Amino acid sequence: MTTVHKAPQGNPGDIMNWPMIKIEYRTDADAIARQLPPGITVGKDPKVFLTIYNYPVNDRPELGCTMMVAADYNGMEGQYALGYAIDQEDEIYVSREHWGQPKYEAKIVYHRMMADVTAKVIHRGHTFIEFNGSVAKTDGPGEEFEINEWWVKASRATTMEPGKFDMDPHVVRVYQKYSTAFRQTLKGDLILRESAHDPIAQRLPIREVTDMYLWTPNFLERSITKEGPLDPEAYWPHAETIHGSRFPAVEGEV
């Protein structure tokens, strides 16, 4: 018997029904390595993972874009979070304080009209990520899968002594388990524009776009745990970052 993969149903206008735009592209392994603090290593396939979403956080819509790179820690595969560009200011500072989640304020444009999908990520008046495309086909639901996401929590010394921390850097593990409620493959164009404030285009250039799709997940499990320490001295050049992201402020020094 054939199983029909049906789109989720719900109340018209309910933000719970917004699918996420998921885009994966391959870049250079050494480009990813330059963004990672010592102790976190490049994954076996040097990919960048972008997710543009509209999802309720504390029952309010949060429009955002996550920027992840394939990265391993202590032998576990995962994705290192370089940035969460979001439009809900209330969630930025509490998320960074609690877990080291690299949220910062940006403007997100995301809408869908029938098959057409448009998204922009705008910071300081500059659009540094843009997607224009359309639905190409509806996919099957696929298998359950797990993801480890890596954040870093640290606090530099109140005395401002170089290399000193009041709280030494620790890796925070975000374990997630999903299945797919609905998935549709997209065709279209991903545009990354150079930016001093969000340097994804310069530091993680596109070599090959490997997947683009709309995704509605089933959330099965999620936990956030303090996983392990990073060497404070080696981490120090990564403590100075751009606008609350985890892009090192001066790439050439790391």
Residues whose CB falls within 8 Å of the CB of residue 179, separated by 6 or more in sequence, listed in order: 141, 142, 143, 144, 145, 217, 218, 220
114, two tokens:
């029938």
User: Do the beta carbons of residue 84 and residue 103 sit within 8 Å?
Assistant: yes
83, two tokens:
């940035």
Task: Report the pLDDT value the prediction gives residue 16, as an integer from 0 to 100.
Answer: 78
User: Do the beta carbons of residue 56 and residue 16 sit within 8 Å?
Assistant: yes
Length of the chain: 254
Dihedral of the alpha carbons of 22, 28, 30, 31, in degrees to the nearest 10: -60
Q: Is the pTM of this model over 0.75?
A: yes
Q: Which fold has domain 15-253?
A: Acetoacetate decarboxylase-like (2.40.400)
3-state secondary structure the chain: CCCCCCCCCCCCCCHHHCCEEEEEEECCHHHHHHHCCCCCEECCCCEEEEEEEEEEECCEEEEEEEEEEEEEECCEEEEEEEEEEECCCHHHHHHHHHHCCCEEECEEEEEEECCEEEEEEEECCEEEEEEEEEEEEECCCCCCEEEEEEEEEEEECCCCCCCCEEEEEEEEEEEEEEEEEEEEEEEEEEEECCCCCCCHHHHCCCCEEEEEEEEEEEEEEEEEEEEEECCHHHHHHHHCECCCCCCECCHHHC
Residue ranges for the chain with pLDDT beneath 50: 1, 253-254
Which residues in 24-46 are b (16+ Cβ under 10 Å) and which e? bbebeeebbeebbbebbbbbeeb
